[in-house]
Structure 1
Amino acid sequence: MSLSPTFTAKDVFDLLRDDLAAIEAQFERGTVSNVQAITDIGAYLRAGGGKRLRPALLLLSAKLMGYTGTGAVRLGAVVEIVHTATLVHDDIIDEAETRRGRPSANVNWGNARCVLAGDWLYMQAFRIALEERNLRILDVLIDLTQQMVEGELLQMEKLGKCVTQQEHFDLIFRKTACLFATSMRLGGILGGATGDQERKLEEYGRNLGMAFQIVDDVLDLTASEEVLGKPVASDLREGKVTMAVIHALERCTPAERQVIETVLRERAFQSVSIPQVQEILARYHSIEAANAAALEFAQAAREAICTFPDSEIKRALLWAPDFVVEREK
């Protein structure tokens, strides 16, 4: 059965335009504090843009279940605030100097202020979520936050080391796909989804998130600094191995392995150049292998929701995996 819908990004934007605008307004209100530093950091982070993909997924999930209330806007802002908090903390941990083509918040305000601002954003997200007066929603958000923190800690333990593909998949689930899955679950909970429906929505989000992160990691190795808004091969510079690199490490010669391990050890391209690593990846078709894995996850996402009744919302959800795997930034 073909699951490829005829849909465009503009179609999805038009479908969600009013709700996304309402989420943006809620996001703005939700990042204002009596402490000026928090308000300033919040405004800077919002101005950095972003695809707002996670709130869009929550909206689509809720609409798929026939939900028409205001809770989807509220929780859409919640997942975007949580996502923003993770970015703040990630940049501090990774010692990143750029985010989306401009200085990261920690460069402008310092690590101490940004750690506290990130903490405040997490708490603010829970405060807004409390307005739903739904303990299941809080339970799901708590589980999400714990998974993401555990993922960050696990990644720190693996920095500079070669990991297996399964270990890598576990990391990207915790750090990325878990929030996609949670966004879909929250929309389902608002819409009164059955247990089976909620499981399918969560599976869709998980697979879409896995595809998203694999493509993100490939772009880190193949796109330009102008497109990325950060240095090329930032993951390797930070001691992180991603799927394409793991694929090559499982197949390369001891000498080639040493080249990659040197970058991981030095946390920089000093003794080794970026083209040297890219040549190894090309030799074993590792970029193609990673892209193929992303396509498999994208297809699994489509199949997870194939039993839901046909609708404009379902077609938008079936389109999203194409957007994720075909994007160039």
Structure 2
Amino acid sequence: MNLSAKDLPELQSELSEQLGQVEELLLESVQGSGDLVDPLTSHLAKAGGKRMRPLLVALCGTLGPNPEPEKLVQAATAVELTHLATLYHDDVMDDAPSRRGVNSAHIEWDNNRAILAGDVLFARASRLVAALGAEAVDFHAKTFERLCLGQLNETFGPQGGEDRVEFYLQVLADKTGSLVAAAASFGALYSGASDEVREAVALYGDRVGVAFQIADDILDLVSSAEVSGKTPGTDLREGVDTLPVLLLRRQAAEGKGDAEVARILDALAGDLSADEDLAQVVSAITNHPVMAQTRQLARDWVDKAIDALAPVPDGEAKDALVLFANSMIDRVA
């Protein structure tokens, strides 16, 4: 997740230095357990990633009058370690073959080791948070609880007459928005910002997280394998209903779907193991108006995130947060 020096002329050097320190502490934190364990626990960290959450900690760390650089680095690293831990677990639950252009940990080492590696990373995140004090420990625990409940609720699915699209958006908020909100909140806390500003950026982060995941749903369909590291439509093949599909199902349930919607849903119910069959369904969805509707929903969530920044004083830091939010959907424009 890059914001250029042109976008942030005064913040860029400060952010670069802090993010470099986060990267050093992150790579140190995913190692240190010996030759058998280190390759596993460092697998995804070394594979890359956007480092969106550490960047948000750094940005919000400029909002207050008394930034604490060491605590900002520790908090940013802890949030990223927590995120990494969830990726190990998610890939096991989803039986995902790859992540960040490399084989998933459970493919390389098996399910048990991948799960335990995620546990180790969460333990190391917890140790970093413990050094920040009781308030940070409580906040981090509540964030992780919400994240896990979001994942758990997803396994149960919507109940009774619950709207599937609204349920899905709430799952995105709980699974992704919660940790993005934590990143923003930690940054504001260790900048000395007011409680009002901290609450504002937490709400902002929650909404940015939803927009980010909606954009990911779009990218699953439109990104090439070279860019995303996975075959377009991988979620469809795995039977995962992402937002475009849920919107199509809603149209059909409300009697608003046309023949093309029916054809797409029929295809999704079939066997998509062949690349040609998958490519046909992906093409049908990407050429359907539902993609414009999905992009608009991502835009709406970004706009709501920016609206949440109203209590934040005007300045370069706030401008940077607006740019950060817009970057969530610039990649699918």
How high is the TM-score relative to the length of structure 1? 0.88
Matched residues in 2 for 1:13 and 1:136: separation?
Answer: 29
Q: Is the 8 Å Cα contact of residues 41 and 118 (structure 2) preserved in structure 1?
A: no
Amino acid of the structure 2 residue aligned with 1:238: E
Kept after mapping to 1: 8 A contact 2:233/2:278 = no
Change (3 A) 1:210 1:20: same
The whole-number CA distance in structure 2 between the counterparts of 1:112 and 1:271 is: 34
Look up the match of 1:27: 26
Q: Assess, with a 3 A threshold, how the Cα gap between structure 1 residues 9 and 265 changes in structure 2: closer, same or farther.
A: farther
Once residues 216 and 82 of structure 1 are traced to their aligned partners in structure 2, the CA distance between those partners, rounded to angstroms, is 20
Q: Give 1:44 shift.
A: 2.2
SS in 2 for 1:250: helix
Q: Is the 8 A contact 1:181 1:203 kept in 2?
A: yes
Q: Which runs of 5+ in 1 are unaligned?
A: 1-5
* Percentage of identical aligned residues: 27
In the alignment, the residues of structure 1 paired with residue 88 and residue 171 of structure 2 have an alpha-carbon distance, to the nearest angstrom, of: 18
Change (3 A) 1:257 1:143: farther
CA positional deviation for 1:10:
8.6
Structure 2 gap segments, 5+ residues each: 252-256
Question: Does the 8 Å contact 1:188/1:198 carry over to 2?
Answer: yes
> RMSD in angstroms over aligned alpha carbons?
2.6
What residue identity is the alignment partner of 1:239? G
Counterpart position of 1:42: 41
Q: Deviations over 1:76-109 (max 9, x none)?
A: 0001101111111111111111111121222211
Deviation at 1:239, TM superposition (A): 1.9
What does residue 250 of structure 1 align with?
A: 250
> What's 2:190 paired with?
190
Q: Distance in 2 between matches of 1:276 and 1:297?
A: 27
Query: Structure 1: how far apart are the matches of 2:11 and 2:298?
Result: 22
Aligned position for 1:107? 107
Secondary structure of the residue that 1:129 maps to in structure 2?
helix
2:321 is the alignment partner of 1:317: yes
What is the one-letter code of the residue matched to 2:297?
A: A
Q: Does residue 308 of the first structure (1) align with residue 312 of the second (2)?
A: yes
In 2: Cα distance, 1:61 partner to 1:262 partner: 45
**How many residues are aligned here?**
320
Equivalent residue, structure 1, for 2:254:
none
What amino acid sits opposite 1:8 in the alignment? D
Contact 2:203–2:308 (Cα < 8 Å) also in 1: yes
SS across alignment from 1:205? helix
Which one-letter code corresponds to 1:198 in the other structure?
R
Q: Which amino acid aligns with 2:49?
A: G
TM-score normalised per structure 2: 0.87
State whether residues 85 and 118 of structure 2, in contact with CA within 8 Å, keep that contact through their aligned partners in structure 1: yes
CA change 1:256–1:312 in 2 (3 A) is closer
What is the deviation of 1:268? 4.2
What CA distance in whole angstroms lies between the structure 1 residues aligned with 2:285 and 2:77?
A: 42
Residues 195 and 11 of structure 1, relative CA distance in 2, 3 Å threshold: closer
- Cα distance in 1 between the residues matched to 2:144 and 2:54: 16
Distance 1:242 1:9 in 2: 34
Partner of 1:121: 121
Counterpart CA distance in 2 for 1:261 and 1:67 is: 58
Matched, 1:130 2:134: no
Structure-1 residue corresponding to 2:220? 220
